[in-house]
C-alpha cells in the first residue's frame, strides 16, 4: 500500500515538473525572441546646446505699495453733516472730505474766546497798576498767567473743532465712500481710502548673497497679471541696510512711473532687476527639459556605440519593406543642473557641453538607449523675450 502511494506521488511530481519545465522553457524562448526583435526608433526633433550672452538680471516677486496711502478715519466721534467728495474722485492736498456736527464745539470756542478777551483786559489793567506800584509783582504775574491759560484753552478747543472737518493730507485718488450724511461715526471709523498712485513703489526681497550686487539707481522692469506683455520701467529707490534673520533676505524698494494709474497698491508684480555686465551661459530650449522629482534631465542624441568585440557600426543600409527605418542614433538620458529660465530657453549649469545634440520633442516616448530618427522639418521660432501674441 505504501509503495503504491509513493509511486503515485512520484508520478505526479514527474507530470507537474514536466509541465512547469515546458512553461519555463516556452517563456524563456519567447523572451529571447522578443529581445531579438528590432526596436522601432522614435522620431524626435533636436537642437544643439548653444552658448549665449545674457544681460545680468535677477528675478523676484514684489508687492506694489503707494508712495502715500491711508484710510481716512475720524479722530473724534460725531454725526455726519456734510460729505464733500464722490467715490473714486481725485482730490488735491487739503481738500475737504467730510464734516461732523460741531455746534457744541463751536459754541465752546466762542465762550473761551470771550473769556480770553476778559483775562487780557484784566492783565492790561494790572500792568498799568504794577507800573504805578499799586500792586505787587506777584499779582501782575498771576494776571499774565491767567491770560496765557485762557488763550491756550481757546487754541485747544479750536483744535478739537478742526477735527470735525476731515481734509485730505495729500493729493491722490479716493476709493469707495463708507459714510453717509446723518450717520453717527465712532472715533476711528473709516470714511474712505486715499491712495497716491503716480508714482508708485514696489517692495521685493532678494537672498542675502546679493547684498553687495545691488544699489539704488539700478533699473527694474515689472510685469503684472492685469496687463500681460506690458512692462513697467522704474529704478531702485532704497536698499534695506539689514538682512532678515528669519528669511535671510533683504528688502528693496523701487519706484515706477504710473501716469495712467494702471498699477494699484496691493498688486503683486514680477520684477527683473538689471545689473551691470553680461554672463556667458550654455542654454537649451525649454522643451528639451524632462522635469522629475528625482532630478531634471535631457536626452542627448549620439551615435550608437559598437558592441564589445564588434567593429564600428557601418552606415545604415536601406530598410527592408515593413521593417523600421535604419538609424545609428540613440537617445541617452543625462541629468543636468539648471539655472535661470528666460523666454524659450533655460540655462544649464552642469551636464552638457556646447554642440551636444539633444531631443526637443517626443520626450515621453524616449528611454535610455532607444534608437531615434531626427526630423527637424518643423522648428519653432525660439526667442529670449517672446510676446504673448507669439506663444
Blockwise average pLDDT, block size 10, the chain, 391 residues: 66 65 63 55 86 85 91 89 90 90 86 88 85 84 88 88 88 90 90 90 90 89 88 92 90 91 89 85 89 88 70 51 67 88 86 89 84 82 66 49
Helices 103-131 and 137-162 pack at an angle, to 10 degrees, of: 160
**Pairing mode of beta strands 172-174, 90-91:** antiparallel
- As a whole number of angstroms, the distance between CA 256 and CA 237 comes to 10
β-sheet bridge partners, residue 222: 232, 271
SS in 3 state form for the chain? CHHHHHHHHHHHHHHHHHHHHHHHHHHHHHHHHHHHCCCCCEEECEEECEEEEEEEEEEEEEEEEECCEEEEECCCCEEEEEECCCCCCEECCCCEEEEECCHHHHHHHHHHHHHHHHHHHHHHHHHHHHHCCCCCHHHHHHHHHHHHHHHHHHHHHHHHHHCCEEECCCCEEECCCCCCCCCEECCCCEEEEEECCCCEEEEEEEEHHHCCCCCCCCEEEEECCCCCCCCEEEEEEEECCCCCCCCCEEEEEEEECCCCCCCCCCCEEEEEEEEEEEEEEEEEEHHHCECCCCCCEEEEEEECCCCCCCCCCCCCCCCCCCCCCCCCEEEEEEECEEEEEECCEEEEEECCCCCCEEECCCHHHCCCCCEEEECCCCCCCCCCCCCHHHC
Per-residue pLDDT at 234: 92
**Going from the N-terminus, what domains does the chain have, and what CATH number goes with each?**
38-54+280-308+323-390 (2.40.420.20), 58-67+196-278 (2.40.30.170), 75-99+166-195 (2.40.50.100), 102-163 (1.10.287)
Cell of 371: 534608437
Question: What does DSSP say about strands 329-335 and 46-48: parallel, antiparallel, or unpaired?
Answer: unpaired
For residue 207, list its beta bridge partners: 249
CA R_g for the chain: 42
- What pTM was estimated for this model as a whole? 0.60
Q: How many CB atoms lie within 10 A of CB 191?
A: 21
The owner of cell 525572441 is: 33
Category of 386 on φ-ψ map: left (φ > 0), alpha (ψ -120 to 50) or beta: beta
pLDDT confidence of residue 310: 52
331 Cα distance to chain centroid: 37
Residue 51 grid coordinates = 552658448
Closest to 369 (Cα-Cα) out of 30, 37, 41, 44: 41
Amino acid at each position: 500500500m505504501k509503495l503504491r502511494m509513493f509511486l503515485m506521488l512520484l508520478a505526479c511530481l514527474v507530470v507537474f515538473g514536466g509541465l512547469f519545465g515546458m512553461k519555463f522553457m516556452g517563456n524563456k524562448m519567447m523572451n529571447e525572441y522578443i529581445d531579438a526583435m528590432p526596436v522601432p526608433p522614435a522620431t524626435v526633433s533636436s537642437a544643439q546646446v548653444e552658448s549665449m550672452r545674457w544681460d545680468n538680471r535677477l528675478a523676484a516677486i514684489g508687492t506694489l505699495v503707494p508712495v502715500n496711502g491711508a484710510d481716512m478715519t475720524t479722530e473724534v466721534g460725531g454725526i455726519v453733516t456734510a460729505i464733500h467728495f464722490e467715490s473714486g474722485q481725485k482730490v488735491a492736498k487739503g481738500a475737504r472730505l467730510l464734516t461732523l456736527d460741531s455746534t457744541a464745539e463751536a459754541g465752546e470756542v466762542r465762550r473761551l474766546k470771550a473769556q480770553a478777551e476778559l483775562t487780557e483786559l484784566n492783565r492790561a489793567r494790572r500792568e498799568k497798576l504794577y507800573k504805578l506800584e499799586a500792586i505787587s509783582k506777584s499779582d501782575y504775574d498771576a494776571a499774565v498767567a491767567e491770560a496765557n491759560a485762557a488763550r491756550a484753552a481757546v487754541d485747544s478747543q479750536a483744535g478739537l473743532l478742526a477735527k470735525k472737518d476731515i481734509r485730505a493730507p495729500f493729493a491722490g485718488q479716493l476709493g469707495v465712500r463708507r459714510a453717509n450724511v446723518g450717520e453717527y461715526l465712532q472715533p476711528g471709523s473709516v470714511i474712505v481710502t486715499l491712495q497716491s498712485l503716480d508714482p508708485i513703489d514696489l517692495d521685493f526681497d532678494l537672498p542675502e548673497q546679493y547684498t553687495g550686487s545691488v544699489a539704488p539707481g539700478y533699473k527694474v522692469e515689472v510685469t503684472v497679471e492685469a496687463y500681460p506683455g506690458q512692462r513697467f520701467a522704474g529704478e531702485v529707490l532704497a536698499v534695506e541696510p539689514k538682512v532678515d534673520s528669519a528669511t535671510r533676505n533683504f528688502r528693496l524698494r523701487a519706484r515706477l512711473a504710473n501716469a495712467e494709474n494702471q498699477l494699484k497698491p496691493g498688486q503683486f508684480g514680477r520684477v527683473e532687476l538689471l545689473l551691470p555686465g553680461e554672463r556667458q551661459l550654455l542654454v537649451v530650449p525649454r522643451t528639451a527639459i524632462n522635469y522629475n522629482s528625482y532630478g531634471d534631465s535631457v536626452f542627448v542624441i549620439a551615435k550608437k556605440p559598437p558592441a564589445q568585440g564588434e567593429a564600428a557600426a557601418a552606415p545604415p543600409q536601406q530598410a527592408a519593406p515593413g521593417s523600421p527605418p535604419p538609424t545609428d542614433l540613440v537617445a541617452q538620458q543625462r541629468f543636468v543642473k539648471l539655472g535661470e529660465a528666460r523666454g524659450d530657453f533655460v540655462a544649464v549649469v552642469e551636464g552638457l557641453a556646447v554642440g551636444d545634440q539633444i531631443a526637443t520633442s517626443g520626450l515621453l516616448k524616449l528611454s535610455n538607449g532607444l534608437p531615434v530618427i531626427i526630423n527637424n522639418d518643423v522648428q519653432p521660432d525660439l526667442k529670449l523675450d517672446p510676446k504673448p501674441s507669439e506663444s
